[in-house]
Amino acid sequence: MDGRRIVLGVSGGVAAYKSVYLARRLLEKGADVRVVMTASAGEFIGAQTFAAITKQPVLVDLFVGISPHTELGQWAELIIVAPATAHSLAKIAYGISGDALASTVLASRAPLLLAPAMHTEMWEHPGTTNTMEALRAAQHTIVGPDSGELAGGDVGYGRMAEPDEIVFAAESILSGQPLAGKRIVVTAGGTREPIDPVRYIGNRSSGKMGHAIATSAARFGASVTLVTTSHLSTPTPIDRVQVETAAEMAEATWRVAVGADCVVLAAAVADFRPVTVADHKMRRMDGAPDIELTETSNVLAGVVAMQPKPYVVGFAAQTGSLNDAKRKATEYGTDILLANDVSIPGRGFGTDTNEITLMRPDGTTEEWPFGSKDEIADRLMRLVSDELPDRPGSN
């Protein structure tokens, strides 16, 4: 979203306080944000708050300057209205201007993202239903509303979507969705192989890299299934399969990968598991147990053997030399393999950053710069979107 021009419209609902955080999140993503408010929005949050955050003046009055709403509407690459009250939604749906927000929307050809927020009774009213049908027919993007606490202590449907969900939708619109129509499977997290009901053999993987990839793929328009051991949150468009062991990871991945365009194997799957699992907690007083190990299922090998074979992205977490990863890249049947040295601070398990070496079966490599896992995920999905259309049998 670096440098993308976003107008944030704020209408008069108590959820306007969330729009302050929304503006901050958009700015953190690199967007250039301008705010336009209705007069009633000012009853809930002050224009000066948004001005201080965005470092830009806030448009509230139509009669400032020559034509502020047309200037702002033409400037925008995307307009977000959050919260979008029943009143503001109806004015947008039926082309009724009269305030700075509605007039800016009418004066723009930018895509429109709406986050409705109102009481349940208002959301379920036939007038609102008709309004939403008109907005959907116009192919505007609508996020939410959700169920939860409402103004006045009520609980029900009509709560504004959380800012991060709105940011995700905005990124999806601005990406152009180059992976639309593609189906992508991503694995994430570290497996746990039980020793007894309490203990397990595991690893330090947090699942952050895999979850970032799944989120990026969905933002780029793909239909995404995430097979994960992690309990990190995921955006609602992602179909999530929760697993724990290597056997569960293998079964779920092989099942959902059938017919997929691309499979990204970012999970840290255990190579070995205990042959037997005690049915009770082992006691210290009984002495150290002898634990016999056996190999787990090879998830990657099962995916590579599929016919037709999807585009396969493998991961190799190494310590020190990447020579073993180079061997894997040439022997394992992946289309690309992403290797990293997890022993280097800031590049290992649980961090928000990484540094990747991309390896291909022909032995060629490409160094990707140190960056956030979100940035690496986006770079990977751009590469996948470039290479998938040229594959025989690709959808």
CA separation for the pair 376, 266 (Å, rounded): 12
Q: What are phi and psi of 314, to 5 degrees?
A: -100, 160
Statement: the pTM of the whole predicted model exceeds 0.75: no
Six token digits for residue 335: 């289309």
User: What interhelical angle do 47-54 and 16-28 show, nearest 10?
Assistant: 10
Six token digits for residue 77: 């690459």
Domains 5-175 and 183-387 in one fold: yes
CA separation for the pair 382, 147 (Å, rounded): 35
Q: What is the pLDDT along the chain (395 residues), one digit of tens a residue?
A: 888 999 999 999 899 999 999 999 999 999 999 999 999 999 999 999 999 999 999 999 988 878 899 999 999 999 999 999 999 999 999 999 889 999 999 999 999 999 999 988 888 899 999 998 999 888 898 888 887 777 767 777 888 988 988 998 898 888 888 998 999 999 999 999 999 999 999 998 999 999 999 999 998 989 999 999 999 988 878 999 999 999 999 999 999 999 999 999 999 999 999 999 988 998 888 888 889 999 999 999 999 999 999 999 999 888 888 888 989 999 999 999 999 888 888 777 888 888 899 999 999 999 998 888 888 998 999 999 999 865 444 44
> Where are any strands of DSSP class E within 160-271?
183-188, 193-194, 200-201, 223-228, 239-242, 262-265
CA separation for the pair 224, 197 (Å, rounded): 33
CA separation for the pair 189, 266 (Å, rounded): 8
Domain ranges of the chain: 5-175, 183-387
CA separation for the pair 359, 357 (Å, rounded): 6
Six token digits for residue 139: 């192919």
Share of the chain residues as helix, strand and coil, in percent rounded to the nearest 5: 35, 25, 40
203 is catalytic: yes
pLDDT, tens only, 48-80: 999 999 999 999 998 887 889 999 999 999 999
Q: Is 183-387 CATH 3.40.50.300?
A: no
The one catalytic residue in 203, 298, 323, 395 is 203
**358 Cβ contact list (under 8 Å, min separation 6):** 336, 337, 338, 365, 366, 367, 368
Q: Do the Cβ atoms of 282 and 289 come closer than 8 Å? A: yes
5-175: CATH number: 3.40.50.1950
